[in-house]
Amino acid sequence: MSIQILGLNEINGPLVALENVPDVGFDELVELKLNNGTARLGRVVQIAGSTCIIQVFEGTSNLSLNNCTVKFFGEPMKMPLSEEILGRVFNGSGRPLDGLGEVYAEKRLDINGQPMNPVSRVYPQNYINTGISSIDCLMTLIRGQKLPIFSGAGMQHDKLAVQIVRQSNISEDSGGRFAIVFAAMGVKNDVADYFRRSFEEAGVMDKVVMFLNLSNDPIIERILTPRCALTVAEYLAFEKNMHILVITTDMTSYCEALREFSSSKGEIPGRKGFPGYLYSDLASLYERAGVADGAQGSVTQLPILTMPNDDITHPVPDLTGYITEGQIVLDRTLDQTGIYPPVSTLPSLSRLMKDGIGEGFTRKDHSAVANQLFAAYANVQDIRALAAVIGEEELTQSDRQFMRFGELFEQRFISQPFTENRSIEETLDLGWSILSVLPRGALDRVDDETLNQYYDHEAARKRFGIE
Amino acid sequence: MSANTVFSINGPVIKVKDTKDFAMMEMVYVGNKNLIGEVISISSDYTTIQVYESTTGLHPGEPVTGTGSPLCATLGPGILENIFDGIERPLQKIKALSGIYIEEGCNIPSLDEARLWDVSIPVRKGDILDGGMTYATCPETSLIEHRCIVPSDINGEIIFVAENGKYTIKDTLVTVKDANGAVHTLTLAQKWPIRQSRPIRERLPISMPLITGQRIIDTMFPIAKGGTAAIPGGFGTGKTMTQHQLAKWCDADIIVYVGCGERGNEMTQVLDEFSSLIDPKSGASLTARTVLIANTSNMPVAAREASIYTGITLAEYYRDMGYHVAIMADSTSRWAEALREISGRLEEMPAEEGFPAYLPSRISQFYERAGYVTTLSGKDGSVSIIGAVSPQGADFSEPVTQNTKRFVRCFWALDKSLAYARHYPAINWTTSYSEYIDDLSAWYETNVDKSFLPHRQAIANILHEENKLMEIVKLIGSDVLPDDQKLVIETAKLVRVGFLQQNAFHKDDTFVPMEKQLKMMGIILYLYNKLKDALAHGAIFSDIARTDLFETIIKMKYDIPNDNLALFDRYYKQVDEAIEKLISQKG
């Protein structure tokens, strides 16, 4: 039986305090019914004796101390789930936005989830082909991985996310079903629209579950949005055996909402005012990616975050990078020179890649070509720095070859039209072809056998029109 | 005792009002689900408890019961090859019980109570037992003999001894009557409070290196058995990878690997990899000497704080049996953040960056539990600690890195720019240091070679010289340097790529014996000195660059198998011939 209490004792930001509550559980869900007939949801965040503090999801505006009734549900917030959830659109706290009514629930799960037992995890090994050369070759996305995109305001991360969603191909084995859970947190209206439209155009809308929390929605809802989305993802992956790609954008907005909420509770702030538990909080989201023993499905996460002031040491990208298994960093200089996707190769990394590529997954020479491209491009950066000082004319012959390699690498390999879907073979062959403009002796990360097979200086010169 | 009940709840911190029943650091059960908690502060009004599991759904008014003892680790056979969470609960068993997720209130014994061990008991009735003596042994894994040590507070005459045979950890093996007439029973298992270090007879000076097979560590910045090291580095610089390499190859008898607030998939990788890897010395699987403690970042934060202590307690327990133990903690920053998080919930006054003021003392308490010792039983044993540090924003001036630096003697600074260039291990040779060189010099001289330390110094000098020259090169290019400096730059490149850089995925290069490390340095220095001579006798650097000497030697790590070091002679011949040719051309 649920308890109902009339009136409140204190309102402060998104928090309300209630006294003389007889029996209430930590993290319990509550509903505040206003006199005008509307209702809001909330959650118990602190209890001291018979006093409890409730965080109201839809904000506290219009609430007064005596215009509402609080109803306690006796359980934490749960998300109603069934397979029919595909194709639906929800708001940030999991309420339907599309006018199709409540989900007819087959199961209801706590949105906070539970930590996965490390011994129940299966080490992720199967790769996801995104059709984007820079990602497939240099920072391969693995099923069950969490690989964030570090972007900045004004860069084309949304376009890249759409391209990944459209091209991602996982059906090559077992006929596993693929679906996308998309959670927008604090995004602009037109960005949410852009995603919705792009999904419709790509014909994938029936495989998408959307959660929309726009930038003018209450911040408290924003804290729930990724949790609802991941609960749906876990349900579909581990109970319905589907492969789920979760795209969450923008994690920076989420963290700022968390900061706002934390400061309204009067907590001691850590770096840049973010709460000290930001790492644990982010981990409780990101760690929900994975492959579980005994289930056919997987949860892959592609969180997008904008680095404030393009600063990768800002707490949000920094803590994210410590939790996720690599990162895809977008670079403003590349973006400005018209290279799309502007993937900055050197700071980007996929940690799970080494075990998910090579023979049996992609191709035997994959790690050789990837390592050599990294090393050669790192060298290009040094030479460019030197050239900036002494002028290109003064460079040695070999340095000039590297400069040309760098240009080709950016223009032909990294850069790729929005509509082009490159197969892994095309990508790797292109990589070899660009490497082949360098003298054979410069490729010091590759053994001779592989070079004999793929290195072709003359063909490369012809292909790229080098005298 | 009147029933104590939950009064307030704030995340993992709960309070009990008006009670005097609890002791500091006592382990308690909280609520109807029996969540495990620990008393962290007591006042006349409130007793504050941190709970090691999620408190979602907990109500005020639910019971809190004390256990009368501090949070303890269960020590006995069955620890090795196992994987535990931060408070030593067996994760395999939890999986069998609650599926892919960890549910709250899983109170299962740490060690398998049904498993029979093949026990031999070397003591006899009437013997006088003293703390530290071995009263029973059993083979725990194919590699390790488990020796049960009498707890330090028990001594007296044996009044009962069981026959050799098969026993579980619950069966009584020996009964002892002490001077006061009190009777103690000893089984295969015992308990020890995790926050208290185990007693030893005396600490010994550091004298032996912990051989890791990683060139930059063994040669440039060695760690000693019983020593401490920190690996700080931003994300993506290879902390975990370095820790894995050390756990796989270092010559400790026992490895305790603590995954403290890190990624779940990494623990899976350790599990997978270690069970498929074979220990080169014994031919047994690496898991036979390993215990894993996995408290991943999404598991409760209070248990993360405890995981470090659980790990070091297990390490000390095996040290007391006379083993050399290495403990890898990945990452101590997550542990420090757990301290900060709990401190914040207690509304303590924060010091730097929100960390509590007692952070340095906690860090030092942890690292000081390392050491090379004589145990109570008179055997030699050691605990070496290797802690990863994850500085925020890769900024080494933050509190955890700085405080760790004060209490470790070995500092392997990982460098982002090396990692970007895929130079692994990305240990920066200018900012890293080891204070153990002097302690270990005698060992190197007797066990490797007299030339080892001079060689090491010469290599370090070349790198140092390069570092100075690079300042100039960055400004005006390497072409303008005089020939002898060009040679330094080229040789330094050989050192960096051919020696310091090491391929963890190559069968020979993943572990390199000391002898090969010495020979590799030897040939590099031989080449360098010969060429320097040649330059002095009129050779030109561009001619030298045209020979394939550098290209050949740079590949020595792959071309020379670890078991055929005689092949190095080939290089000496090649160098001599090439230089002769150079000089004769000139002449």
pLDDT digits (tens, 9 = 90+) for A401-449: 999 999 999 999 999 999 999 999 999 999 999 999 999 888 888 888 8
Average pLDDT along chain B: 90
B489 conformational bin, left if phi > 0, alpha if psi -120 to 50, beta if neither: alpha
Helix (H, G, I), strand (E, B) or coil at A266: coil
Helix (H, G, I), strand (E, B) or coil at B360: helix
Amino acid in position B45: D
Q: What is the mean pLDDT of residues B476-480?
A: 80
Tokens standing for residue A435: 């490497």
**Sign of CA pseudo-dihedral A136, A140, A145, A148:** negative
3-state helix, strand, coil in chain B (%, to 5): 40, 25, 40
Tell me which residue of A115, A112, A116, A113 sits closest to A43, measured CA to CA: A112
CB contact under 8 A, A119 and B259: no
Q: Provide CATH code, domain B1-70.
A: 2.40.30.20
CB contact under 8 A, B344 and A395: no
* pLDDT confidence of residue B15: 92
Cβ of B149: how many Cβ atoms within 10 Å?
Answer: 23
Q: What is the mean pLDDT of residues B149-163?
A: 91
How do strand B380-389 and strand B371-374 relate by DSSP bridges? antiparallel
Domain with CATH 3.40.50.300 in chain B: 202-435
CA angle B118, B124, B128 (to 5 degrees): 125
Q: Which residues of A touch B554 (CB under 8 A)?
A: 444
Domain at B117-188: CATH architecture: Beta Barrel (2.40)
Whole-angstrom distance, CA of residue B61 vs CA of residue B4 = 8
pLDDT tens digits for B498-528? 999 998 888 889 999 999 999 999 999 999 9
| Domain range list for chain A | 3-76, 83-347, 366-463
CB nearest to A26's CB, from B58, B91, B393: B58
CB nearest to B475's CB, from A122, A271, A389: A389
CB contact under 8 A, B100 and A117: yes
Query: For the purposes of burial, counting CB atoms within 10 Å of the CB of B278, is it exposed (0-12), middle (13-18) or buried (19 or more)?
Result: exposed
CB contact under 8 A, A279 and B99: no
CB contact under 8 A, B8 and A24: no
Average pLDDT along chain A: 89
Model confidence at A175: pLDDT above 70: no
CB contact under 8 A, A117 and B102: yes
CB B375 within 8 A of CB B218: no
Beta strands in B102-225 (DSSP E): 117-119, 128-129, 134-139, 145-149, 156-161, 165-167, 174-177, 183-186, 190-193, 202-204
Task: Tell whether domain B452-586 is in CATH 3.20.19.10.
Answer: no
Alpha helix (H) ranges present in B182-300? 215, 239-249, 264-276
The pLDDT > 70 percentage for chain B reads: 99
Query: For the purposes of burial, counting CB atoms within 10 Å of the CB of B321, is it exposed (0-12), middle (13-18) or buried (19 or more)?
Result: buried
How do strand A208-214 and strand A89-91 relate by DSSP bridges? parallel
Cβ of B370: how many Cβ atoms within 10 Å?
Answer: 29
CB B39 within 8 A of CB B22: yes
CB nearest to A23's CB, from B61, B236, B394: B61
Residue with tokens 């109603």, as numbered in its chain: A80
Nearest chain B Cα to A355, which residue? B269
CB B294 within 8 A of CB B301: no
CATH of A3-76 given 2.40.30.20, 3.40.190.10, 2.30.30.60, 3.20.20.60 = 2.40.30.20
CB contact under 8 A, B265 and A315: no
- Residues in Cβ contact with B393 at an 8 Å cutoff, skipping those fewer than 6 apart: A312, A313, A314, A315, A318, B234
A226 conformational bin, left if phi > 0, alpha if psi -120 to 50, beta if neither: alpha
Q: Which residue has the higher pLDDT, B97 or B370?
A: B370
CB contact under 8 A, B99 and A26: no
Top-level CATH class of B202-435?
alpha beta
Task: Looking at the complex, report in whole angstroms how far the Cα of residue A381 sits from the nearest Cα belonging to chain B.
Answer: 10
Domain with CATH 2.40.50.100 in chain B: 117-188
CB contact under 8 A, B474 and A386: yes
Whole-angstrom distance, CA of residue A222 vs CA of residue B61 = 32
Q: In what order do the strands lie in the sheet with B128-129?
A: B128-129, B156-161, B174-177, B183-186
Whole-angstrom distance, CA of residue B83 vs CA of residue B89 = 8
Confidence of residue A174 (pLDDT cuts 50, 70, 90): low
pLDDT tens digits for B283-339? 788 889 999 999 998 888 888 999 999 999 999 999 999 999 999 998 899 999 889
CB contact under 8 A, B334 and A287: no
Confidence of residue A2 (pLDDT cuts 50, 70, 90): low
Interchain CB contacts (distance < 8 Å): A and B: 209
Model confidence at B2: pLDDT above 70: no
pLDDT tens digits for A273-287? 898 889 889 999 999
* pLDDT confidence of residue A173: 57
CB contact under 8 A, A119 and B7: no
CB contact under 8 A, B395 and A277: no
A87-101, A166-180, B182-196: range with lowest mean pLDDT: A166-180
Model confidence at B485: pLDDT above 70: yes
Helix (H, G, I), strand (E, B) or coil at B9: strand
Whole-angstrom distance, CA of residue B142 vs CA of residue B195 = 30
Task: Looking at the complex, report in whole angstroms how far the Cα of residue A33 sits from the nearest Cα belonging to chain B.
Answer: 22
Inter-helix orientation angle B264-276/B239-249, to 10°: 30
Whole-angstrom distance, CA of residue A257 vs CA of residue A264 = 11
Tell me which residue of B482, B365, B425 sits closest to B238, measured CA to CA: B425
Q: Which residues of B touch A445 (CB under 8 A)?
A: 422
CB nearest to B297's CB, from A120, A287, A290: A287
Q: Which residue has the higher pLDDT, A235 or B584?
A: A235
Omega into A226 within 30° of 0, i.e. cis?
A: no
The pLDDT > 90 percentage for chain B reads: 59
Domain with CATH 1.10.1140.10 in chain B: 452-586
CB contact under 8 A, A268 and B347: yes
* pLDDT confidence of residue A172: 55
CB contact under 8 A, B298 and A284: yes
DSSP string for residues in A18-82? E---SS--TTEEEEEEETTS-EEEEEEEEEETTEEEEEETT--TT--TTSEEEEEEEEE-EEEE-
* pLDDT confidence of residue B1: 47
Q: What is the mean pLDDT of residues A368-384?
A: 91
Amino acid in position A390: I
Confidence of residue B442 (pLDDT cuts 50, 70, 90): very high
Q: Could you say which DSSP state residue B394 is in?
A: G
Model confidence at B397: pLDDT above 70: yes
Element (H, E) at B37: strand B35-42
pLDDT tens digits for B35-94? 988 898 898 889 999 888 888 888 888 999 988 888 899 999 999 999 999 989 999 999
CB A221 within 8 A of CB A92: yes
CB contact under 8 A, B236 and A23: no
Nearest chain A Cα to B349, which residue? A268
Burial readout B445-473 (b: 16 or more C-beta within 10 A, e: otherwise): eeebbeebbebbebbeebbeebeebeeeb
For testing contact with chain A, the best of B8, B87, B263, B347 (most A CBs within 10 A): B263
Please provide residue B228's backbone torsions phi and psi, each rounded to the nearest 5 degrees.
-130, 145
Confidence of residue A199 (pLDDT cuts 50, 70, 90): confident
DSSP string for residues in B143-172? S-EEEEE--TT--EEEEEEPPSEEE-TTS-
Q: Provide CATH code, domain A83-347.
A: 3.40.50.12240
Amino acid in position B493: K
Tokens standing for residue A350: 């996929």
Element (H, E) at A225: helix A219-238
pLDDT tens digits for B177-200? 988 989 999 999 999 999 999 999
CB B369 within 8 A of CB B312: yes
Element (H, E) at A201: helix A189-201
- Gyration radius of chain B over CA positions: 28
Model confidence at A264: pLDDT above 90: no
Q: Which residues of B touch A124 (CB under 8 A)?
A: 265
Task: Looking at the complex, report in whole angstroms how far the Cα of residue A316 sits from the nearest Cα belonging to chain B.
Answer: 10
Task: Looking at the complex, report in whole angstroms how far the Cα of residue A146 sits from the nearest Cα belonging to chain B.
Answer: 10
Task: Looking at the complex, report in whole angstroms how far the Cα of residue B178 sits from the nearest Cα belonging to chain A.
Answer: 44
Q: What is the ipTM of this complex?
A: 0.83
* pLDDT confidence of residue A333: 93
Model confidence at B474: pLDDT above 90: no
Model confidence at B587: pLDDT above 80: no
Tell me which residue of B299, B298, B307 sits closest to B331, measured CA to CA: B307
CB nearest to A269's CB, from B294, B334, B354: B354
Model confidence at B429: pLDDT above 50: yes
Nearest chain A Cα to B297, which residue? A283
Q: Which residues of B touch A271 (CB under 8 A)?
A: 353-354, 392
Task: Looking at the complex, report in whole angstroms how far the Cα of residue B100 sits from the nearest Cα belonging to chain A.
Answer: 5
CB B229 within 8 A of CB B270: no
Whole-angstrom distance, CA of residue B97 vs CA of residue B104 = 11
Beta strands in A144-286 (DSSP E): 149-151, 177-187, 208-214, 242-249
